[in-house]
């Protein structure tokens, strides 16, 4: 490659024995991608068509599952193409775009989970004021904020890369994530500081808000009847499970970038594939089985399909 090509293209170097297993990788990941799309879309479809699910909690769940679809679509199509290609490459601008969209979808989940936590707090702790507080306007503002704020903040990080000089053209991964930071000739102090700001602002602070909110819910419900406490825990548990999964996912992403030279290539490859599959599949599984109303409609839909 000449200098111009080197500057333009980035190579993904995280694949393991791709020449030998490329078709197996393709088939497995293609099937999983279809399952992710269908599984998430089914739950969203049920929420859209059933009037009794047109409540803030279920609207936020639908938004979270749409996020899972967009998150997967940011990664899987390019990954599937790479499996069948002789060279696993991308241009630097496209790498920036993929990374920005990927992290926009990821971080917006923290804000959506914050909105869910607030919705549960108002529903359980201030039931008489629920209809006044959680109006359609409130829900729309929460949804807009959950997508707009991360998109703006990650968009700014893309702008900060405009004047960054790239000296490394190989990325130890399967797609563009925070590993893009290591392509720089000299690490940018501005990008490092801004990265910490984004992590704190749209990951850590929402996480602390969610934990604080659920602690308040537990304190309030502990003073009430056991049946009320049980019902509250049943509706909050799925959100907590998703939060734990998402927090582990983000922690893994940060740790891998910081320690990628110390992690064996095979281990990094397997862990990355698991995260790509595990995260978007877990959300619909949790909400489809743990949320009583969604589970009821899902069973009815499956019964109708089987009867035909």
C-alpha 24/C-alpha 274 separation (Å) is 16
Q: How does pLDDT run across 143-154, given as a tens digit for each residue?
A: 999 999 999 988
* Mean pLDDT, the chain, integer: 84
pLDDT of residue 225: 62
Q: Does 307 map to a domain?
A: no
Q: Write out the H or E segment, with its range, that includes residue 12.
A: strand 9-12
- Strands lying side by side in the sheet with 170-171: 89-91, 9-12, 170-171
Q: Does 308 map to a domain?
A: no
Which is nearest to 276 in space by CA: 14, 94, 62, 41?
A: 14
Q: Does 25 map to a domain?
A: yes
Q: Does 44 map to a domain?
A: yes
Cβ contacts of residue 13 below 8 Å, gap of 6+? 88, 170, 171, 172, 173
Burial 13-27 (b: 16+ CB within 10 A, else e): ebbbebeeebeebbe
Strand partners, 184: 166
Contact call for residues 164 and 195 (beta carbons, < 8 A): no
The arithmetic mean of pLDDT across residues 260-271, rounded, is 74
Q: How does pLDDT run across 42-73, given as a tens digit for each residue?
A: 999 999 998 888 999 899 999 999 999 999 99
pLDDT of residue 268: 79
Q: Does 238 map to a domain?
A: yes
Q: How does pLDDT run across 161-174, given as a tens digit for each residue?
A: 887 888 888 888 88
Q: Does 306 map to a domain?
A: no
Domain that holds residue 208: 3-301
* The pair of three-digit structure tokens given for residue 54, joined into one six-digit string: 């047109």
Q: Does 200 map to a domain?
A: yes
Measure the CA dihedral 234/237/242/244, to 10°: -170
CATH number, domain of 264, equals 1.20.1070.10
- 3-class secondary structure, 9: strand
Count of domains observed in the chain: 1
Q: Does 285 map to a domain?
A: yes
pLDDT of residue 6: 47
């Amino acid at each position: 490659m000449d200098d111009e090509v080197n500057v333009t293209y980035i190579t993904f170097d995280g694949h393991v024995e791709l020449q030998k297993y490329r078709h197996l990788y393709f088939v497995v990941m293609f099937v999983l991608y279809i399952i992710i799309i269908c599984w998430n879309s089914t739950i969203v479809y049920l929420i859209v068509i059933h009037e009794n699910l047109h409540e803030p909690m279920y609207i936020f769940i639908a938004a979270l599952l749409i996020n899972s679809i967009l998150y997967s679509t940011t990664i899987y199509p390019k990954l599937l193409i790479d499996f069948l290609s002789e060279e696993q490459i991308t241009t630097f601008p496209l790498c920036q775009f993929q990374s920005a969209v990927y992290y926009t979808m990821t971080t917006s989940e923290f804000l959506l989970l914050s909105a869910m936590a607030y919705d549960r707090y108002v529903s359980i702790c201030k039931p008489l004021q629920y209809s006044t507080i959680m109006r359609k306007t409130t829900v729309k503002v929460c949804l807009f904020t959950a997508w707009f704020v991360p998109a703006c903040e990650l968009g700014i990080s893309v702008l900060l890369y405009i004047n960054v000089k790239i000296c490394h053209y190989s990325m130890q991964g399967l797609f563009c994530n925070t590993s893009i930071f290591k392509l720089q000739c000299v690490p940018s102090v501005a990008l490092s500081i801004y990265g910490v700001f984004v992590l704190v602002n749209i990951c850590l602070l929402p996480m602390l808000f969610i934990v604080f909110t659920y602690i308040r819910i537990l304190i309030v419900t502990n003073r009430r009847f056991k049946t009320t406490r049980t019902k509250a825990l049943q509706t909050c548990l799925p959100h907590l499970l998703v939060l734990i999964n998402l927090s582990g996912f983000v922690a893994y992403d940060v740790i891998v970038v910081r320690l990628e030279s110390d992690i064996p290539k095979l281990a990094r490859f397997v862990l990355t594939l698991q995260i790509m599959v595990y995260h978007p599949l877990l959300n619909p599984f949790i909400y489809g089985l743990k949320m009583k109303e969604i589970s009821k409609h899902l069973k009815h839909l499956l019964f109708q399909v089987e009867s035909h």
